[in-house]
Amino acid sequence: MKRFFILAILPLALLAGCQNGASETEQKAELEGNVMAIHDEAMAKMGDIYKLRRQLRSLRDTLEQQAQPDSAAILALQQELSGLNQADEVMMQWMRQYKAPDTLQHQQAMTYLQQELVKVTRVQTVMDSTLQAAKQTLSTHEQKK
């Protein structure tokens, strides 16, 4: 019985020992997939940026047309609009400069993708914080109505 168990386990152990981890192609594809996943999450928020920009502009325009415009509120809205424009531009700039590392050697590609992962994570952070601030500003002004 013990001999049968050893004979049954031996091929599995050998097979597991031959697996040295993911191949270079798999490593590169996984890292590139991580970069693109963060990009895709951030891109999904672009619609929110456009929607908030439209709402903030409308609110700003309404406040400017009042008999006694609230200049502090208008300035705050303008700052949020500027932040949304910057977040949009940060994403567009990253997308313009990103190039798939198809022609690079493995180590160069991995280094490039790691750098791009850091960059796109920063883009996502900028977008998230800008969206949160703009939503808060819009919410504050809507509560005053």
What digits encode the pLDDT tens for the residues 42-95?
999 999 999 999 999 999 999 999 989 889 999 999 999 999 999 999 999 999
pTM of the full predicted structure?
A: 0.78
DSSP category for residue 102: T
Residue 17: inside a domain, yes or no?
no
The count of structural domains within the chain is: 1
- In sequence order, the 6+-apart residues with CB closer than 8 A to the CB of 21 are none
Residue 52: inside a domain, yes or no?
yes
DSSP of 8-58, one letter per residue?
HHHHHHHHHHH--SS-HHHHHHHHHHHHHHHHHHHHHTHHHHHHHHHHHHH
| Residue 124 domain boundaries | 24-144
Residue 11: inside a domain, yes or no?
no
Residue 20: pLDDT above 90? no
